[in-house]
Amino acid sequence: MEPEHDAAGQSGSDDAELRGRASTKHGAGRVLVVVYAVLAVASVSRAAYELLTKFSQAPVPYSLSAFAAIVYCVITWALIASTPVSRRIARAGMVVELVGVLVVGTLSVLDGSVFPKSSVWFWYGRDYLFIPLLLPILGLIFLRRSRAEH
């Protein structure tokens, strides 16, 4: 018996293969979730420590670290949920992350006095091996490609 084909001529097994590549439960999608989860834990830990022990020294950078931590947690949840709505939320979070990294990174490079203390997005995420700069770009590419495959 031949496999059933959809309107585009794709067999059911081809459709399942495409969904697997687009999923955040396997492959590149799983790696994306894990990296965001690690970054979420790291930034929440850092922000909590900074806010509780050093907030008066540099309230803006430490508040930005807390904001970044919230963004990473939302993106992680949205990628894990992997529904159409949550994927839009993840995409919006990645855009916010990328804009934040670019703005904070550029300001910190041009005038270090703007941020007397480091934050997650300081110098484009230098303290985090520039992952905050690269991750939203890779995440947006993943979401775009996986949307096209659905």
pLDDT in tens, 21-62: 567 776 888 999 999 999 999 999 989 999 999 998 888 888
pLDDT in tens, 2-19: 445 455 555 444 444 444
Q: What is the dihedral of CA 70, 76, 77, 83, to 10 degrees?
A: 130
Say how many C-beta atoms besides its own lie within 10 A of residue 77's C-beta: 17
Q: Report DSSP state, residue 2.
A: P
Check the CA dihedral 90-134-42-97 and report its sign: negative
